[in-house]
Amino acid sequence: MAAVIDHPAGHDDHAHDHPHGWRRWLFATNHKDIGTLYLWFAFVMLLSGGVMALTIRAELFQPGLQYVNPEFFNQLTTMHGLVMVFGAIMPAFVGFANWQIPLMIGASDMAFARMNNFSFWLMPPAALLLIGSFFVPGGATAAGWTLYAPLSVQMGVGMDMAIFAVHILGASSIMGSINIVTTILNMRAPGMTLMKMPLFVWTWLITAYLLIAVMPVLAGAITMVLTDRHFGTSFFNAAGGGDPVMYQHIFWFFGHPEVYIMILPAFGIVSEIIPTFARKRLFGYSSMVYATASIAILSFIVWAHHMFTTGMPVTGQLFFMYATMLIAVPTGVKIFNWVATMWRGSMTFETPMLFAIGFIFVFTMGGLTGIILSVAPLDIQLHDTYYVVAHFHYVLVAGSLFALFAGTYYWLPKWTGHMYDEKLGKFHFWASLITFNITFFPMHFLGLAGMPRRYADYPMQFADFNAVASVGAFGFGLSQLIFLTAILKCIKGGQKATDQVWDNPQGLEWTVPSPAPFHTFETPPTVK
Amino acid sequence: MVMVPNASVAGRSSRSVLSNFAQLGNPVSRGVTGAKTLLGLATLAMTAPVWAVKDMVGGPGVNQINLTQGVTKIAADQHWIHNFLLWVCVAIFVAVFGVMFYSIWAHRRSRGAQSADFHESTAVEIAWTVVPFLIVVGLAIPATRMVIEQKDTSQADLTIKATGYQWKWGYDYLKGEGEGISFLSTLSTPAEQTALGSKAEKNETYLMEVDNPLVVPVGQKVRMVITANDVIHAWMVPAFGVKQDAIPGFVRDTWFKAEKVGTFRGQCAELCGKNHAYMPIVVEVKSQEDYRKWAAAQKAEMLAKADDPTKEWAQADLSDRGAKVYASNCASCHQPTGKGVAGAFPALEGSKVVLGKQDDQIALLLNGKAGTAMAAFKHLSDVELAAVATYTRNAWGNKAEDAIVQPKDFSAARK
């Protein structure tokens, strides 16, 4: 049977032939191609969500209604949230996982290559459903991204489209997570024990478990909304024995871990970048791993801090307040570790490092306002005001998004084979950092003064800070065009990147050529 | 917009952005001189229209940057704990980033820094786990005391139920002086100021003014029992330190004891549909004596106004009354023209329900329609419901087979 035994090698070569044209993308099974698809998809969604945000800020530039009516305004705030969370931030991190995890653990590809293809190609139809819902009678859902019942029960067909879209995106996320977990647990290069894995891989392993645990919970919550809407059930209708607050419990049991799903991989990216540019090993590797795991576990027992004003009993408020405050401890450990990594290093400040430091700086501000919000008796004043809007944009935009920028600049030379334009990168960083703060810092004041969220119009006394925020928002939006320019320029050409790219970076991804060839680690490397 | 001091209003001149930083106390105003200048410049650079804006009485100040001091102990405590937390956070921020930026300055390759080779220290790592834990415990202690205080709604002098409707508040005085008083409280900002594209000059209390404010006595513990009719709303008055979600089908309670006479304002704080921004809360705190007078007058007025639901009404009278009921309850969705909004809110002009048998319309008004924005309106009186039904049957060229619906038809349907 020698012929048969010989045959598979030749056959394999044929099957792994480099496809061209649209087939390469539609039938993609290569982790690098799928990673690229995810990243472009996320960027397109980032721009769509950004256009919605700028429409919101244009309307809020002055008191009074200038451009949109309140119905459409509510659709915009709702869809901005859904598109950014499910369309931009989450897929972007999955894109990084696809590109980097096999490269970092010395695997030849993801474990389930065809499921990987399916996970991605579920997303464009879901995005079409979401964006398309603007054009159906009654428009898109306007119940807020949290889709609270019973308001979500009142909506038109746009709500059903959003529910279906979130179902699909959830299925995609679960498949992606199973793929990531399987790849990390089974396909590491010989010698790479769990405690030798790069931190980015660790944070994604934990994130993938979080996703598998909570996406079905979200699917359950919105399915109950769907049956309440169309099939006469009363899960969230008191008249039929249901409870509107139960929706919030179920939603936030998903929603709070979701917050960490969007930030843990960001921690991972930053933990890769800081040591490279400090030219010093990451401080406290094992405490970083334990801190990430603690945050993930704690994230399951803090959900009701989003619900302090629903009227919980004293014991409930105290429990969720204490649990929430506790999260500050492992999060603090991470920040201290990063600072200690920088301490007595030999630092240079290329764009990835700038974004990583920017991340630590603004993420910490968001973390500190998080401590303030965790104090239940004070949250009574701040809940559902612009203070909360400021807080979560500090952790999600300046947190997750800045880390995504950092990671993009860091690995772009490996992906494209060219160095990006350092001047453009630095310009992008400073423009983003400054305009971000102009946009969101004044929102703390608005919230403290009592301006509620999701308001299409507001009293005159709030006018100045809103105007400042709107100016900043347009600056921040335009700054992202610098990012697009930098990326396109880097794809087209530029200084040839070396295989190492940076000054002696750690990790297997730097041992393959730049650009990373279509197939890498067909023979697994050995890790000492 | 740029503030223009308004000298004609004695005692309440408008405040500049700069003076507002004094609210955080002296240490801040010294610390943020640079920020003040920057922010002042940014504000001056705005090109929005120029008109005088003053602090709102009982509402937000112009460019207010901190929590209100409020007029209850709870609000004062919240103000205190916020400032306390803020300074703790500022201290942590300065410490952490002092170290980080020192390192960025000192340990850079361009200054010839060589990287050291340490990457763990059990002692340090334990220290920076334990210290934050202790700080957090320190923060939790005063917070716990405040939670217990806020949740104690026992021994109230007065109990009032607030009901959130899309998009107004209803108040029922349940227990204590004024028991039995009941009214709806609706935004009173004129529609020409709030309309899309309106250029009309806006009131100082724009969007935070109502036709019938809630009235309570000073120095008395008021327990607010809060619920909703349709979707979740939230009853918020920052000056009292109170925010409580209004949940349809459930009641929750909260309390306040106002220590000062005056008018205090808040807004709905939970997304409740298109007019979420247009259902403010205004509370007038009166002296004991004034409150007593108000309650007596209110009761007398309610008696005089009470409609006799058994009376047979003439069509014209019902239609006239119905036009008003329509304007304050129906027009925001179905539109003053009766044409609705395509896809979202059905037109009443030519509507089958409106033109058809009265029983269907009566049932729809009393019970709403599940799964749509059409709420139940059974909180309106039989006369109001009959009036609005009659109005819709004859307005906008509608010619219904039952042109008139009498209050007694609603009374019968309720049974």
ipTM, 2 decimals? 0.90
Residues of A within 8 A of B62 (CB-CB) are: 460-461, 464
Residues of B within 8 A of A310 (CB-CB) are: 245, 247, 252
The pLDDT of A13-24, averaged and rounded, is 70
Q: Which residues pair with B168 in a beta bridge?
A: B165
From the candidates A172, A183, A299, A432, give the one annotated as an active-site residue.
Answer: A172
pLDDT at B305: 77
* A 386-425 near B (Cβ less than 8 A): none
Q: Please give the structure tokens belonging to residue B238.
A: 């920052």
pLDDT over 70 for what percent of chain B? 88
Q: What is the pLDDT of residues B257-301, one digit of tens each?
A: 999 999 999 999 999 999 999 999 999 999 999 999 999 999 888
Q: The tokens 């995609």 sit on which residue? A: A172
* A 234-253 near B (Cβ less than 8 A): 237-239, 243-245
The pLDDT of B201-216, averaged and rounded, is 93
- Confidence check: pLDDT of B1 > 90: no
Reply yes or no: is the peptide bond before residue A515 cis, omega within 30 of 0: yes
Q: Choose between B52 and A135: higher pLDDT.
A: A135
What are the backbone dihedrals phi and psi of residue B242, each rounded to the nearest 5 degrees, phi first?
A: -120, 135
Give B357's pLDDT tier (boundaries 50, 70, 90).
confident
B86 touches chain A (CB under 8 A): yes
B4 touches chain A (CB under 8 A): no
- Confidence check: pLDDT of B211 > 70: yes
Q: What is the mean pLDDT of chain A?
A: 93
Cross-chain Cβ contact B371/A154 below 8 Å:
yes
pLDDT at A8: 43
CB-closest option in A230, A344, A462 to B115: A344
From the candidates A305, A383, A393, A428, give the one annotated as an active-site residue.
Answer: A305
Q: Please give the structure tokens belonging to residue B345.
A: 């809110």
B388 touches chain A (CB under 8 A): no
Q: Please give the structure tokens belonging to residue A202.
A: 């660790």
B154 touches chain A (CB under 8 A): no
CA distance A284 to chain B (A): 5
Give B96's pLDDT tier (boundaries 50, 70, 90).
very high
Give B29's pLDDT tier (boundaries 50, 70, 90).
very low
Of the candidates A517, A265, A460, the residue with the CA atom closest to the CA atom of residue B64:
A460
Please check whether residue A482 is in contact with residue A428, taking contact to mean a CB–CB distance below 8 angstroms: yes
pLDDT at B398: 86
> What is this structure's pTM?
0.88
CA distance A338 to chain B (A): 9
* A 41-80 near B (Cβ less than 8 A): 61-66, 68-71, 74
User: How far, CA to CA in Å, does A15 sit from each of A11, A12, B12, B17?
Assistant: 6, 5, 80, 68
pLDDT at A299: 94
- Confidence check: pLDDT of B21 > 80: no
* A 144-183 near B (Cβ less than 8 A): 144, 148, 150-151, 153-154, 156
A227 touches chain B (CB under 8 A): no
Of the candidates B78, B80, B62, B75, the residue with the CA atom closest to the CA atom of residue B21:
B62
CA–CA separation, B414 vs B329, rounded Å? 20
- Confidence check: pLDDT of B344 > 90: no
User: How far, CA to CA in Å, does A126 sit from each of A42, A50, A87, B84?
Assistant: 13, 18, 9, 46
pLDDT at B43: 52
CA distance B23 to chain A (A): 12
- Confidence check: pLDDT of B302 > 70: yes
* A 448-467 near B (Cβ less than 8 A): 448-465, 467
Q: Please give the structure tokens belonging to residue B123.
A: 């002692």
Residues of A within 8 A of B342 (CB-CB) are: 137
From the candidates A141, A177, A271, A299, give the one annotated as an active-site residue.
Answer: A271
Residues of B within 8 A of A384 (CB-CB) are: 234, 243, 269-270
Q: Which residues pair with B210 in a beta bridge?
A: B187
Q: Choose between B371 and A374: higher pLDDT.
A: A374
The pLDDT of B174-196, averaged and rounded, is 92
